[in-house]
Amino acid sequence: MMDLVVRTPRAPKKGETVIGTSFQRFPGGNGANQAVAAARLGAKVTMAGKVGQDVFGDQMVATLREEGVCTEHVLRDASSPTGIGSITLDDEGNNRIVVVPGANLNYNLDDLSTLRPLLASQDLLMLQLEMNIDTIKMAVEMASRHEVPIVLNPAPAQKISDDLLKAITYLTPNETEAELLTGVPVTDVESAKRAARVLLDRGPKSVIITLGEKGALFAHGDSFIHVPGCSVKPVDTVAAGDAFNGALAARVAGGSSLKDAVRYANAVGALTVTRQGAIPSLPTAKEVEEFRRATEIA
């Protein structure tokens, strides 16, 4: 996805026009952000998906390659443009996003079937919901057949069947997504625990609910553990969740415990919101370690 970002003192109300302060264009999209986040943290990453045969597609593929992400399985589509995200950011760093998936939705089951030999050898599969749900289901089936752990970031938020959730190793909704999936409004740690219990009962092995500045709650079996967030002044929250997910995937695939992975991912997400843009804001492993040391000292 190509992110088209407008900054404005405040978001417009219904029927209102406001004067913005800047416009910028950044390569982004949940999957691409997560892929780059994991790669910058030292993981070996292969990206699968589809972009248009247009300038945005050219830039997207070039950016992934520059970040060390394998793009052999990023396909080009002549019938649809590269997807875009229209993003409004206010002075507090809060965002409102409209996603137009474009070529993403043309990535089909035939495209996916070519990944069978590759998927069997992977340490972990990360998925989002910016593709057709039937494609997501087939990817989950393929990974499950080879006992490859699956991280599902349920964004953009939508209903998910219990059959699909039962195959997920790590489900990573934010507050809004958790509420949509459970009907439980998530406003604090205690309500996050209630939502996590509902989700666990539906089948995923572990649930990690991201809570913004409050950190994250992870749940497995009868254990519910809150990992506090890091205190920072947010500049741009666009890629915070993707940074968290990419870091979580990289650490889990590298053998870290879930608790340690969540702690690390919290720091990565916090550092990300102190910078503008999606992919440009994602930190390297060295930057994260320096940030964690400084945070501990403070």
For residue 268, name the pLDDT band (cuts at 50, 70, 90): very high
State how far the Cα of 271 lies from the Cα of 280, in Å rounded to an integer.
12
Question: Is-catalytic flag, 188?
Answer: no
Q: Which member of 3, 110, 242, 260 is catalytic?
A: 242
Give residue 49's pLDDT. Answer: 94
Pairing relation of β-strands 95-100 and 84-89? antiparallel
What angle separates helix 30-40 from helix 240-253, to the nearest 10 degrees? 50
Which is nearest to 37 in space by CA: 264, 282, 270, 212? Answer: 282
3-state percent breakdown (helix, strand, coil) of the chain, nearest 5: 40, 20, 35
The β-bridge partners of 150 are 125
68 backbone φψ class: left, alpha, beta (φ>0; ψ -120 to 50): left
3-class DSSP assignment, residue 284 = coil
Tell me phi and psi for residue 11, to 5 degrees: -70, 145
For residue 255, name the pLDDT band (cuts at 50, 70, 90): very high
Show the tokens assigned to 84.
Answer: 């875009």
Write down how long the chain is. Answer: 298
Show the tokens assigned to 234.
Answer: 């947010």
> Structure pTM?
0.90
The predicted model gives 121-125 an average pLDDT of 97
The tally of domains found in the chain comes to 1
Alpha helices in 5-132 (DSSP H): 30-40, 55-66, 109-113, 116-119
**Domain CATH code at residue 167:** 3.40.1190.20
Show the tokens assigned to 3.
Answer: 């992110």
State how far the Cα of 45 lies from the Cα of 36, in Å rounded to an integer.
8
For 84-104, write each residue's pLDDT tens digit.
989 898 888 788 888 898 999
Could you list the residue range(s) of the whole structural domain that residue 6 is in? 2-297
Radius of gyration of the chain (CA): 18
State how far the Cα of 241 lies from the Cα of 60, in Å rounded to an integer.
20
For residue 298, name the pLDDT band (cuts at 50, 70, 90): very low
The rounded percent of the chain whose pLDDT value lies above 70 is 99
Question: Cα separations (Å) of 158 from 71, 106, 108, 154?
Answer: 28, 19, 19, 7
State how far the Cα of 128 lies from the Cα of 78, in Å rounded to an integer.
23
State how far the Cα of 215 lies from the Cα of 231, in Å rounded to an integer.
10
> What does DSSP assign to residue 88?
E
Q: Are 183 and 197 in contact (CB under 8 A)?
A: no
The β-bridge partners of 84 are 2, 100
Pairing relation of β-strands 2-7 and 22-27? antiparallel
CA atoms within 13 A on the CB side of 69: 26
Instruction: In the chain, count H helices and then E strands.
Output: 11, 12
For residue 224, name the pLDDT band (cuts at 50, 70, 90): very high
> What does DSSP assign to residue 283?
P
Give residue 94's pLDDT. Answer: 83
For 27-63, write each residue's pLDDT tens digit.
888 999 999 999 999 999 999 999 999 999 999 999 9
